[in-house]
Structure 1
Amino acid sequence: MKLLHTSDWHLGQSFFTQNRRHEHRQFLTWLLGVVKQHEIDVVVVAGDVFDTATPPSYARELYNQIVVELQSHACTLVVLGGNHDSVSVLNESKSLLSCLNTHVIASCAEDVTEQVVEIKQADGTVIGLICAIPFIRPRDVIHSEAGQSGEDKKALLGEAIKQHYAAVFEEAQKKRRAWGADIPIVATGHLTALGVTQSDSVREIYIGTLDGYSADNFPPADYIALGHIHRPQRVGKSEYIRYSGSPIPLSFDELGSNKQVMIVAFDGTKPTLSAVEIPRFQAMAVMTGDLTDIEAQLAQISDTDDAIWLCIEVTTQGYLPDLHQRIQEMAENKPVEILQLRRVQAHKDTTLQQQHEEQLAELTPQDVFERRLALMPEETDKALRERLRSNFQTIMQSLYEEPEGE
């Protein structure tokens, strides 16, 4: 069996007001070429197909197109729900797509047999099994009780996720024994594993409850295809537990790592891994320095270059009220779109006044909360600070969770 592991497409993302339809269409066209070239049997999308619970119509159109276009390649598609995806949106076309060799697992099923996908050849022979585990919402596996501490909830959720993986994996093992064949078992997941490197665009899933999931708690599957982290990487020093990463940069701090998909070729149950680098479909860059440095970097851009999306970080020791205007004048007649302009303090010992000069868009809600907390009197009770922090995290978690019925 040949498996292609990808994740975090985030179809429909608006990047500082910029539409990314063109990039996603090019990526999906490129992906079809890889499927054909490498004769892929199954494509696994490990969550976050869409960027929001209410994706724009063009994003749904791209999703439907890739399902249809894969039919000419005799390739199975397995789609897992992520924390950005709406369960109801993915489920609305689930039955229809099942007729097109596509398996959609939007949420955890009560019957774990529904989460074991058989990958078959044209003659019906099973060549692989997928433990199709999507983003696990706490309400799917645990019931909170009054009086539980944060540590209690953390331990309970971690154990519940572990037990769910074990139950699905055991069902896959039963199917493998029934077939009596040496076929691989692949597990999936959409979560934060401990020790991984994140990026600015990654949303915390279990705020204040679960920092990350230990790699030791995964079942002994032959390969584990993960999503949610946008930088491709191994987990727990294991070659066979991987994040494929997102196919396009979803924030400027992701420009330092190459984008890729993973191809996993199985000889029996033994996997051989190879990464296929994804081309960059939109020119993007980060420029850093003082105004003189920025002007020199902009001067190097040719008028004939393709349009470049820029993040400009200006190092300064003071407040520049006309900073935006000066940067715009430097970039005049250049094929650039300045999507993010930030002031970066030249010294770490910034004053409170300098911190107030930061743009709100540069800060996360957590940043704003911690800045406000820092302004409280030093003699403020530590327990009170922790209660405020815990309450804030609970509120943020409730905003990220999908409402019941979705």
Structure 2
Amino acid sequence: MYFYAARQPIFNIENKPIGYEILFRNGPDNTFPGISADEATSRLVEGSQFYFALEELSNHKPAFINFTLKSLLLGYPFMFAPQHIVIEVIESTKPGKKLLDATKVLHKKGYLIALDNYCHQSTWRHFFPYIKYLKIDVTSTPWPEIQLIKKAIQPYQHIQLIAEKVETHQQLDKLKELGFEYFQGFYFAKPEMLKSQMFSASELSITKLLSETANEYIDVKKLTPIFERDVNLSYKLLRYANSAIFKRRTKISNIKQALVTLGSQELKKFLSLMFAAQISPNKPVELIKLSLTRARFCEQLALKAQNKKFVGPAFLTGMMSLIDAIHDDSMENIMGRLPLVDAIKQALVVKEGALAQLLLIVQSYEKADWQSAQQQCQALDINPDSLPQIYNDALSWCEEQMQVLACEI
């Protein structure tokens, strides 16, 4: 599944973009879907949290995002840093006490606020001290009304006008004469479609859990609620913990007991299997096998390097090293959305650090580039003669995991 959005630039008088309006889309068609404004806002906020980095959506400029009164009262804007967004109060929102109170709070916390598709009413004057932009639809707002708006905001020098739906050069010249400073519309650019393959909530949970198991000591109290929020994952954990391979005399009946009994290594094995099963159901099985092999290979190399703090992250680095091919997206985009430590992201995106060196040994060995493998081994004080044994161990471990995976834990 993909997450879709569109962005349209807002230009200043020098034709330079000062921000982008972010528009929700629920498919490849560049049109607003037939859903409520509340749903569109919530899904766009969700998407910018989990599927796109907001800076990526807005090309590292302020993002103009539509908010309904309901979404403002629910505190959705506070999920973003004030410097990253401009809050657009949609045109269907009526001025009232609830909106005014929410506007005051947002203004006090440093957020910039725009009134979208502004139609002048005297009651809006109470909002003007807290408003940064008025966005005016120049195709439906008569010139005399624009003059009236300009007169109304004269005492509020901080308010700036944005002309929406600018479609011709003649319009642009007239708007500049009227004192508009910012412009948006088809004359400059149509909304540009963006899409990103979505991670499910379960995939994100598993990644978070894998990241936690990369620590030297597992915090059971921290992991338990993550499992408990995912009924399917909890069921599979209990099933795995009670499977015949462990030959337990007593049944494990709850999540905490399962985590304590399994321990770090078995839990990591379980989560890596769940991740492999969910992240790529339609991908060639060889991609999964190679990911698991690399995970084990990197982990064992870290042990040989006698650096305990890198053992867990090394496993995850190998596990995630093919995520771009599996998820059909760039490594940079994917790492921006997954809850992994910076050292892993650095290794996979910019290919720097000790984890990147471990992965390079693995990749060099896969390609039979012995010289490169030996050089990296020497840099990490690993005996290169141990590589064949470690690789064979990784292959055997991978085959064991694939057999378990075939049983559909």
Normalised TM-score (structure 1): 0.29
Which has more radius of gyration?
2
Normalised TM-score (structure 2): 0.29
